[in-house]
Structure 1
Amino acid sequence: MENSWKIFLIFLRLGATAFGGPIAHLAYFREEFVVKRRWLSERDYADVLALCQFLPGPASSQMGFSLGLIRGGMSGAVAAWVGFTLPAALIMFSFAYGLLSLEALGVSGGWLQGLKVVAVAVVAQAIWGMANTLCPDRQRITLAFAAASLMLWWPLWWIQWVIIALGGLIGWKYLPAQAASPTPFTLSIPRWLALGSGIVFLLLLFSLPLLASHTPVNSVWGIFDSFYRAGALVFGGGHVVLPLLQSEFVATGQVDSVIFLAGYGAAQAIPGPLFSLSAYLGVWLFESSPVIGALVALVAIFLPGFLLILAALPFWEGLRSRADAAATLAGINAAVVGLLIAAFYNPVWTSAILSPRHFVLALLAFLLLTVWRVSPWWVVLGMAGVGQGVF
């Protein structure tokens, strides 16, 4: 077993340097732990990765959690998550706290508009990439467009959960899919821990809304409930959290759309998980005690994905051999592409593209990100600077 402090330091370095989003994070992990440190074999790495991609939650953070679990037990898993998440969380917390101070002083600027324009380009890039991978045929493209239309036609806070469920049902019944070829899975945890984790996941999922309904909207329990439910239903990557959080906080008036999109744009420029956006939002939701708000939001949004990893590990080999499970997941993934399309229109497009100049800058940002492969760090900084000078 590896020392937890050592695991923390390794993941802290990765969290401070791993730019590029979830796919890049997974490549960093493979290089570090399969090639360099030989913590596990190539096959075992692929098996754990398949599980992280199958379950809802942030795949790269779940992979880091699993690697820490394999090497150092539960304390190693926690150390891996804290180390990988800490740099991004501190940056996003500082950004939110700085904005609060500027707002108190009555200071604003065009750089916020620049960040909103970056968000347009980033979400468009995410939709393009996810659609190519998750909607490769007419059936899934149609399902994605139907999901987007339903979300835009009835923009109710609960409709997204219905869309995800319908996507899974349609996929299970109508989509052809082949399960992965089963191979022996050598990494496991005690079944009692898996069963307990699954029970805790479900208890929190169904009891938190009841508890939150008896407390003020911006109470600790209300914040924990909102972020927990968002983290429990994020299929397809970190960008999919955008429509879920938008529905929870922007549509209900708890967070202004300008503040929300500024944070989302800034999150593209930093290393580590995109879920660190939760620390930023926690500050705005709990202004009286921003540190508590950030911590509650962070723990709540990551917790369901980690509970699901613990619950599924002993059963993964049997589950991934089932074609109906793969078909269900294919339908869910197509539906979440549709949710991201809907979020791209509202609030991303409607609040950011207010003039032809905004559209020109969004096109430029999209070109730099997708064609010229410029680092998001430079694109975000550049657009914030241009926004400050132009708007």
Structure 2
Amino acid sequence: MNNLPLSRLGEVAKLFFKLGVIGFGGPVAHIAMMEDEVVKRRQWLTQEHFLDLLGATNLIPGPNSTEMAIHIGYIYAGWLGLIIAGVCFILPAVLITGIFAWLYVNYGSLPQFSPLLYGIKPAVLAIILNALWSLGKKAVKTRQLLIIAVVVVLLTWLLKVNEVVALLLGGILGMIWLHSSNQTNLMLTFLTTGTLFQNTAVVTTGINNLSVPLWQLGLFFLKVGSVLFGSGYLLIAFLQGSLVNEYGWLTQQQLLDAIAIGQFTPGPVLSTATFIGYIIADIPGAIVATLGIFLPSFLFVLILNPLIPRLRSSSWTRAFLDAVNVSAVALMVVTTLQLGIVTLTIEKVPYIDFFSLVIFLISAVLAIRYRINAAWLVLGGGLIGWGISVLGYV
């Protein structure tokens, strides 16, 4: 029994380091891979518990997939598991991004991974679809929850309501409607007022100084990590507004190159901070920026995790959590649709990318029907994309 905690820490480290290495496709793909590993394969969590964690991470700032990794590590292996899961998931992306930053600063160019990514993207899309299917079956327990999910999809897809606002509206509507079935008029009122919410941005002040103090660089990324709700891609808006336009720490081209690195590398997209920190202040800058942007996630999870089971004890908060869970799945649906349009379409006739569609369909069958591990699907998709490029078809 004395070896149980140590063995669990080893399992956590091995799993999340692997996910950090193969985690292409952004937070939705990462969450899909985690669901496959910890719910279906290892059974560390029930589907309901996983959904509770997913709903909770959507309600606090920080990168959702990183916070899911931290939550799972904490539940399975205690506070050391919390640290190890988060560090192991983040570390591969940070190291790869740091290497690319060194190449960029010293040689002024980025490596080209387009052929590999061409095949990886449709494979990742299939992994997400598999997760959506299993999570959706568990989250949509009633007709009311299905309606709430549809409403959240419409709010975010058509009305462009902020993801966090849509999630909170879904939770509040569900709490009222599920707790008392005679509250449909109030539900419609909330839907009307929900369209008034708009995206918010971080407002910071500072001076334009090319010799950037490390404390100021770290403080900037700490602020971003503390308020970055929703998708990690919202980071781009913060960087543009502050680092390029206000402080002048980055040029527009450097920001575009940093974004490109975020797309090339696996793991959390917030590892872009490592690249930017290195450009601004070398290795110390990379370390400070990375710590600043990820540290809030560890603290938020440490505070929030013990409270999640209590939310199930009250009928009101249980209804709220059920609605938030189904709303989180709805947000994944919207993101998946957006990724699918980008991945499977082209601008010229026939408007459908045939090779991407084939990779997607094969990967979907392998994932859903035969439960092939996501790592093999990512590897296989990358190899097919590279082969198609060598043959000159793309």
Which bracket does the TM-score occupy, shorter chain normalised? Answer: 0.5 to 0.7
Distance 1:115 1:160 in 2: 26
For 1:297-335, what per-residue CA distance to the aligned partner results, in whole angstroms no more than 9, with x for missing partners? Answer: 33233321222135x38xx55x53211111111111121
Secondary structure of 2:231's partner? helix
Change (3 A) 1:131 1:11: same
Distance 1:252 1:342 in 2: 24
Distance 1:49 1:390 in 2: 37
> How far is 1:339 from its partner?
1.2
1:334 aligns with 2:326: yes
Secondary structure of 2:333's partner? helix
Distance 1:50 1:132 in 2: 11
Conserved? CA contact 1:120–1:349, under 8 Å: no
Secondary structure of 1:21's partner? helix
Change (3 A) 1:385 1:160: same
2:367 to 361, 369, 373: 369
Conserved? CA contact 1:121–1:365, under 8 Å: yes
Which position in structure 2 is the counterpart of 1:21?
34
> How far is 1:134 from its partner?
0.8
Which position in structure 1 is the counterpart of 2:274?
283
Aligned sequence identity (%): 14
Distance 2:222 2:139 in 1: 30
Correspondence list, 1:245-256, <5 A: 245-249=232-236
Which position in structure 1 is the counterpart of 2:165?
162
Distance 2:320 2:377 in 1: 37
Which position in structure 1 is the counterpart of 2:87?
86
For 1:160-193, what per-residue CA distance to the aligned partner results, in whole angstroms no more than 9, with x for missing partners? Answer: 121011101111111259xxxxxxxxxxxxxxxx
1:305 to 294, 301, 304: 301
Change (3 A) 1:286 1:10: same
Distance 2:51 2:318 in 1: 11
> How far is 1:119 from its partner?
2.8
* 2:118 counterpart letter in structure 1: Q
> How far is 1:390 from its partner?
1.3
Distance 1:359 1:372 in 2: 19
Change (3 A) 1:353 1:362: farther
Task: Structure 1: give runs of 5+ residues left out of the alignment.
Answer: 32-41, 70-76, 178-208, 234-242, 268-276
> How far is 1:282 from its partner?
2.9
Change (3 A) 1:386 1:89: same
* 1:363 counterpart letter in structure 2: L
Change (3 A) 1:377 1:144: same
Q: When the two structures are aligned, how many residues end up with a matched partner? A: 309
State which drifts further: 9-18 or 377-386: 9-18
Distance 2:231 2:205 in 1: 22
1:64 aligns with 2:73: yes
Which position in structure 2 is the counterpart of 1:139?
144
- Aligned CA-pair RMSD: 4.1
* 2:71 counterpart letter in structure 1: Q
Distance 2:39 2:130 in 1: 19
> How far is 1:93 from its partner?
1.9
Conserved? CA contact 1:10–1:83, under 8 Å: no
